Structures are given as structure tokens and as C-alpha cells.
Amino acid sequence: MSNWKLIRLNFGQTPAHFGEVGIGLEESRERVRSDTLFSALISSYARLFGKEKVEELLGNFQQSPCFRLSSTFIYRYQKSKYIYYLPKPLAFPKKYPIGKDLEFTKTYKKLSYLPLEVWERWYQGEGFTESDRTALIEETKKSKSVKDSFLYQAGTFDYNQAFKIDKNPKVAIDRNTRSTNFYHTGFVQFESQPEQHSGLYFILHFPTTNPNLEKEIQATLIFLGEEGLGGERSSGAGRFNLEWLDLTEEWKKVVQHQQSNHCLISLFWDDSISPELLNNSACYDIQERGGWIASSPSGYQKRRKMVRMFTEGSVFSACPQGKLANVTPDNYNSKAHHKVYRSGVSLSLPIYSSN
């Protein structure tokens, strides 16, 4: 019997720096993707439970993943309820007026993330409605009447209000010459008021019930929260309080829905992609993933190999599985350190696709 968990990360007033290849130190994303989250979790797991345990865990992933996790996404608490945002699938919703959307297409395309109740209705339930069309047109025109619509009340147009990204000035001092270098670092700050706050969440799926592993992963995430997630941790960035939760009835309905198409809520990589996945109905985007190795517990650093992965929101006509990608650099002594992996193990949700 499988087990699903919803994990909330509450950063409070603590800023975080979530960098990616190509955006530079001065920028920060508002969330962390599944491969970065997995690497942070495994690094913390190694520090808590030791080399043998982490090698055993990674060995299990080579055969059959003992858990799958999504990327992190924004949640927002306001008006005594939680709003969970999911990536908008690259496929059109059920009943979407393809070719007849000129009045609102720009507004629709700007919606990269959807509240859970909108996501569920568009891609698993009733589908796109005439009232949704009207609301998108009103939002395009910045009409006040949009506030009465279902999309507005659900928080569809409020995603960017859950966080802000600032650039903080910093100074680097050369150890030899004592010369200074002035630069900026981007930090994301979430809402932190008790009556209105926001943070990140992700979905964790255990294919089989394993209480011991669940306790270890929970302990690891608590430890990770104390250490910090993302960059600039030496400055205190990225620390969070963990909430380990069972799925609500709304979430259970979403994950248990029966459809042949699947939408990624994580990154996905495999060394061999079946033609069944990449047929004419597939809608996908690809991103190059890279970065540096920060080996635990040795602290050894080196740039790892680049790997291309399918991104969140990609839609396939079958359920993608994914694997760990070996990104160990060339001329890297894996015996002295360890092999380096990037998680392409995927997690997806069933959806209806009109493509």
C-alpha cells in the first residue's frame, strides 16, 4: 500500500537564495526544483545516518525508487485557508476554446501556476468554462468585476503576491591583497504574518508502506530545516520549520484520479525514452541542469556534468518513471569520494488533455 505526504516548509521571516544555472548570483528563484531538493535531502541524510546507510538508500533507487518527491511549489495561507499552487500543464485544459482565445490569450499564457482547485477543475473535472473565459477577459482589461469570479476568489491571479525578491548588497574581501569587491545577491522573502503567510511545499510518495524510512526522511528534513535549503546558508538563509502532513481529501482526489495522461510535478530524466512517451500528444519543455558538487561530509567541490531534463508541467500519454542520472565529472576520483547523481526520478499527476 502506497503512502502520500504533503510537506510544508515555513521560512517565516528568514530569506532564502535559490539559484539556478544561468541566472547568476544576483538573481534568485522563488522555489527549488526536485533534483536540488533530492540532493539536499541525500546530503543531510548522509550526515545524519552515515555513508553505509546513504549508499544503501541510493542502491535501492537503482532498482526501484523507495520514494518519489515533487519539486517545491508556493503555498499561501489567507482567509483561513491554504492555497496550493501547481504548475500549469503545457497541454490545454479540457474544453479550452483552442483558436478562439484571442481576447484573453496573453493573460492565460502568463499563468505559470494554478491554485489546486482551479488545476483540478480544468484538468480532472468539469474543464474550462464560459465563466473562466469571462474572468480572463476581465483580468486582461483590469476590470474590477473580475473580483467576483471563481478564478479570482481561488487566487489564480495572486501568485506573485506570496513572495518578493530583493537584492542585498555584499562585499567580498581578498585574503591576500585586502581589496574589496562589491556585489549583490538575490534573496526571496515569503509572507510571514500569522493571518497571511506563505512558503514552499512538496509532495512525497512512498510506493510501499515503510514506517522506518518515513521516520528517517522526516528526521532528515527537520535537520535540513535547521541547516538551511539553497545558497547563502552561512548567512543564515534558507532555514525553515517543517510540517509533515497527510493529504487532505482534496489532494487525495487529485492523486487518485484515473486518467491515461500524466503531468509532471517534478523534473524527469531517463537514459532511454520510450516512443510511447514522446508521441504526437506529448507536450514538454526541457531544461539543462548543472552546478557544483558539495560533497558531504568531506566538503569537496567540483563542477558536475550537465544533464537535460523534462520540466514540471510537461504532459505525456503514459506515466513517466525516471532514474538517477550519473553526473560524476571526468577525472574525478569516485573511490576517494563517491559517485555523483542528479535525480531524474519523476512524480506526476493524472490529467485529461485536450491536445
Closest CA to 27 of 205, 253, 188, 246: 188
pLDDT at 355: 59
Closest CA to 191 of 116, 82, 32: 82
| Residue ranges per structural domain of the chain | 3-255
pLDDT at 281: 84
What Å distances lie between residue 344 and 65, 70, 312, CA to CA?
A: 11, 11, 12
Q: Read off the pLDDT of residues 277-289 as tens digits, 9 standing for 90 and up.
A: 888 889 999 998 8
What Å distances lie between residue 242 and 8, 10, 70, 167, 342, CA to CA?
A: 6, 7, 16, 26, 24
pLDDT at 274: 84
Distance CA 100, CA 119 (A): 21
Q: Read off the pLDDT of residues 309-332 as tens digits, 9 standing for 90 and up.
A: 999 999 999 999 999 998 888 776
Instruction: Say whether 175 sits in a helix, a strand or coil.
Output: coil
Distance CA 175, CA 287 (A): 37
pLDDT at 171: 72
Distance CA 200, CA 344 (A): 20
Segments in the chain below pLDDT 50: none
Distance CA 318, CA 311 (A): 16
pLDDT at 337: 59
Helices and strands in the chain: count of H runs, count of E runs: 8, 19
Distance CA 33, CA 289 (A): 10
Instruction: Say whether 260 sits in a helix, a strand or coil.
Output: coil
Instruction: Say whether 355 sits in a helix, a strand or coil.
Output: coil
